[in-house]
Structure 1
Amino acid sequence: MRVTASVRSAKRSPLLQVAKSAIATIGAWLIAGWLIPGPLPVFAAIAALLVVQPSVNQSFAKALERSIGVIVGVVIAVALSLLLGAQSWVVLLAIVVAMLVAWALRASPGTGNQVAISAMLVLALGSSNLEYAIDRILETLIGVSFALVVNALLVPPVLIAPARRDLGLLGTEIAASLDRLAAALSSTQRPGDLQGLMVEARLLRPMQAAAAASVSAGEESLTLNPRRAARGEIAEMRALLDRLSPIVTQVIGMTRAFFDHYDDTLAAEPTVHAIAEQLRRAGHDVRLAVQVADIAPEPAAETSAIPALTAPLQVKPPASGHWILIGSLMEDLRRIRGGIIGDD
């Protein structure tokens, strides 16, 4: 592992995020310094810097974490100072006590660290009387509040584009996988062809995970966000993802069954050709669902606006060597149809 991988991310944070953090930090410093004369408003600046997060919801969570951590840490520092005096070893004791208190309260790692840091700073930077403690708490609340306002009002992020992109790619690849399986069912396959078909089907799983993560990030970015116009759009994406995710499982399962039970006489089964036709129709309707949601990366002109999937097939008993595979394909096809038309 390269050493730089521990300190560098794959991509830079948006410059707007840097600007908002700078505005929040400077503003909190100036406001706290004006309202609370005395020591430099370090607590306000630190609070503002930490609270500005990629989303308003994350900022709110960080604000709670920071506020609670500071209050508990300051109380611990003042209590120990009043009991034991202003000795240097009291700072170390305060850190240990703060960590133990956070552990006893089952605080999150961020909150626990904040309790210990606040207790240390109060004892190390200044007086530990009650007035000083109250000023530091108020200073922190000023920084937290100003950072929340900045992050909420200054172009709060809406992560819709990544969700639209990843979900569109997933739908397009599901349709392509259905088409590939339909073509394979109707023709003789070589071992390399079967391996390639299986590998391509399995690639649907990481694409599904990426789409789910992007949709969740989009939902999270809109929580507590005053920009509400995109909430209906992200709700539609979530509904489409919920429809497509089971189809991913069915496509992989059908491909696996075909891989495990394939033989060269399979293409002679009339039912197999009927199943292949239904798979093509299912692929068409997946593309149509993606295009209706307006998330297709490259809309296909040949996709009709009319759903193509027919009613479930009525089949004759297959040859004895194929009934397990055909039965499995039929059941998965039934589930795919139910997912496309929304009938569980």
Structure 2
Amino acid sequence: MKITGSLRLATRPPIIQVIKTSIAAIAAWLLSVALLHQPLPIFAAIAALLVVQPSVSQSFARGVERSLGVIAGVALAYGIGALFGRSSVIVLGVIVVALLVAWAFRLSPGSANQIPISAMLVLAIGAQTPGYAVDRIIETVLGALVALVVNAAIAPPVALAPAHLAVQRLVHDCAAALEAVADALTTEQTGEQLDALLARARELRPLRDTAQSAISAGAESLTLNARRGRHRRILERDTELFARLSILVTRIVGMSRTVHDNWDAEVVDDPTVHDIAREMRRAAHDLRIVAGDGDAALPTGPPEPPALTAPLEVLRPHPTQWMLIGSLLEDMRRVREEVLGALDEA
């Protein structure tokens, strides 16, 4: 593995992020010069550089943690400096104490690093520079505020597309997995084919986790975002659909496991099993309708959507495969509830 591999990202951040960060740093510098009469307000620029984040909510959190870290570090330095002086040993001791304080209060890495840095600078430089500590706090807070305003005002990102695509992919993969279970119930299967069926169903779990992460990122991008009003409904619909898909993933994995463990050649000719398989294909068809695939059709012909109608009923259980059939019937009942619920919300 190349050493530079850990230093480079797989993709570049958007160029707008570079522009916003540059504007925030320059604006924080100029504003500090004008208001505070500081010839070199480097701490305002540093705060602006660190606070501009991919989302407004992240900028707000970074600004708060940096500002609180500076204030805590300055207060700690003043207290220890007043009691023990400002020698080199005291400066080193303050660093250790600041790290222990951050650890004791379970502070975030941003605040945990900022407290010892601020305390060290106040003790080392503040003694020769009157008002250094207060100026540092004001500069940092000013730089953080400027960065927050710039990030909120200039094209705040809305990360809804990745969430929508992840949910749509999960919909289609759930539909395909249902059809795979239906095929396994109606055609002869080898051990390898049954193993592949179960493996395919289990692949839905990481897809579900990916969709959940994308939805969380989308929700975060809308927090404190001025454009959230016109985008929130899209995210709400994807979130509601994802909640139903999460249940479907559990059911599909369970059905695949049941078929994998209990499949027998005689189920292929059982009419009840064929009815269950038909219901699975109908559920897959209706899932694709939820995803916006309006021309989805069953292999036996294009029924009028939605394809799911009355729940399947079995009056006489199979003499030897009743456990397999009963388990599939219960899972299909719950699958049907979620699919029809998604259709009603679509």
TM norm structure 2: 0.91
Q: How much does 1:263 deviate?
A: 1.2
Given that 1:271 and 1:315 are in contact with CA atoms closer than 8 Å, whether structure 2 keeps it comes out as yes
Q: Alpha-carbon deviations, 1:59-106, whole Å to 9, x = none?
A: 111111011000011122233333333423332122122122223333
- SS of equivalent residue, structure 1 residue 8: coil
Per-residue displacement from partner, 1:36-80 (whole Å, max 9, x unpaired)?
A: 224621221111111111111111111110110000111222333
Deviations 1:227-271 (A, max 9, x none): 121011101110010111100111111011001001111111111
Match of 2:295 in 1: 301
Residue aligning to 1:184 = 184
* Mapping 1:29-178, distance limit 5 Å: 29-38=29-38, 40-127=40-127, 131-178=131-178
Q: Please give the residue correspondences for 1:222-233 in structure 2 after superposition, counting only pairs within 5 Å.
A: 222-228=222-228, 229-233=230-234
CA distance in 1, matches of 2:39, 2:98: 23
Which residue of 2 is the match for residue 339 of structure 1?
A: 338
* Other-structure match for 2:280: 279
CA contact (8 A) 2:170 2:204 kept: yes
Once residues 307 and 125 of structure 2 are traced to their aligned partners in structure 1, the CA distance between those partners, rounded to angstroms, is 72
Note the residue ranges of structure 2 that are not aligned, 5 or more in a row: 298-302
Map of 1:10 onto structure 2: 10
Q: Does structure 2 retain, via aligned residues, the 8 Å contact 1:198–1:255?
A: yes
SS in structure 1 of the partner of residue 71 of structure 2: helix
Q: Does 1:310 align with 2:304?
A: no
Matches within 5 A, 1:183-332: 183-228=183-228, 229-291=230-292, 299=293, 301-303=295-297, 306-332=305-331
Specify the SS of the correspondent of 1:265.
helix
Aligned AA (1:104): A
Q: How large is the RMSD of aligned CA atoms in angstroms? A: 1.9
Paired positions, count: 336
Shift of 1:117: 1.4
Please report how far the alpha carbon of residue 306 of structure 1 lies from its aligned counterpart in structure 2 after TM superposition: 2.3
Moved more, 176-185 or 213-222: 176-185
